[in-house]
Amino acid sequence: MLLTPDADTIVLSQLVEGNPVATIVIDAQHRVTHWNRACAQLTGTPAEKIIGTQEQWRAFYAEPRPIMADLIVEGALEAAVDHFYHGKFKRSELIDGAFEAEDFFPSFGQGGRWLFFTAAAIRNAQGEIIGAIETLQDVTARRSAEEALRKSEERYRQLSLTDSLTGLFNSRFLHQRLKTEMERAARYQRPLALLVLDCDNFKSINDRFGHLDGDKVLQALAGVIASCLRSSDSGFRYGGEEFVLLLPETTADAARMLAERLRVSFADEVVESVTGLPIRCTVSIGVAESFGCESENSLIRRADDASYEAKRRGKNCVFVAESPT
């Protein structure tokens, strides 16, 4: 038995009103014909303020603009949908001609809500669009859980890459980063420098003041390192009192100047011991510029040997390694 138009309307009303999912129906003139209880509860806008109007946008936006159902009524060209929901929408895999999207609505609830919405055309027997139906679901809890998981994963990733005492990267990440930078420098024939820093007389500081104060000295050096680095540079705690700096797009001469600036800054640093006594420390720095023919271990070894040469020459100085033979 075919339903009459009146019967169709009654059935649609029953389906929409009985739906626990927030649902909006508009006609071909963009007038709201249905705005169920779930939608009123979700948006905070009662049905009597919306039904019969073309102002469905007021429940979602501060200024007039189409909701997804309006775009469906207008023919739902993908370019038009992209204009309003760029990067947030896709075609429905379940409903032919429908679109779905996910967006954040800051005016909903406390702190805003994330909504997932799907809009599809309502057609007559001739296949003509006579309206559109849109459903909306609050997915804030899922998005919050996803964000918490993302932050947790990022936190664990950072912990796996950073030294807990100094906040610099650890030696494990050094080898990953160094491989990438050396390959890039060789491919594009760009300079790359590596510095090895070693705290002078660090054992005597630990012996005299204790390991807690020794840790404070290392943290102070890490702070000086961080203040001297560019955004493209990386600092690593290599082990114990030894640190490594990786400097892309940097020649040996430029790296030497940075090393001198770092050496002077740290020599001026005064660390207060647990008992209130001042602690001063210096650093010996070895500089090596990468050459395309050498390995990662070769570059590190040359910079490390240069730092030992700096110590041999009286400490608190910078020594630049020669190119590999």
pLDDT band of residue 325 (cuts 50, 70, 90) is low
pLDDT band at 7 (very low <50, low <70, confident <90, very high): low
The 10s digit of each residue's pLDDT in 113-167 is 999 999 999 998 898 999 999 999 999 999 999 988 888 887 777 778 999 999 9
Q: Is the pLDDT of residue 310 over 70?
A: yes
| pLDDT reading at 9 higher than 70 | no
Q: Are the C-beta atoms of residues 218 and 266 closer than 8 Å to each other? A: no
Annotated catalytic residue within 100, 134, 181, 241: 241
Mean pLDDT, rounded, for 10-14: 69
Going along the chain, which residue ranges are E strands? 22-27, 32-35, 89-91, 99-105, 113-123, 129-138, 169-170, 192-199, 234-239, 242-248, 271-272, 278-279, 283-289, 318-320
At 8, is the pLDDT very low, low, confident or very high (cuts 50, 70, 90)?
Answer: low
**Domains assigned to the chain:** 5-144 (3.30.450.20), 162-320 (3.30.70.270)
Q: Sign (positive/negative) of CA torsion 151, 156, 160, 164?
A: positive
Residues 6 or more apart from 271 whose CB is under 8 A from it? 213, 216, 217, 220, 278, 279, 280, 281
Distance from C-alpha of 247 to C-alpha of 181, rounded to nearest angstrom? 9
| pTM: predicted TM-score of the whole model, two decimal places | 0.59
Judged by DSSP in three states, 189 sits in: coil
pLDDT band with cut points at 50, 70 and 90 for residue 79: confident
**pLDDT tens-digit map of 32-46:** 999 999 999 999 999
Q: Name the band, by pLDDT with cuts 50, 70 and 90, for residue 15.
A: confident
48 catalytic residue (yes or no): no
Between the CA atoms of 243, 248, 250 and 256, what dihedral angle is there, to the nearest 10 degrees?
0
pLDDT of residue 3: 39
User: Mean pLDDT, to the nearest integer, of 276-295?
Assistant: 93
Average pLDDT along the chain: 91
Q: What is the pLDDT of residue 82?
A: 92
User: Confidence band (pLDDT; 50, 70, 90) for 57?
Assistant: very high
What pLDDT shows up at residue 77? 80
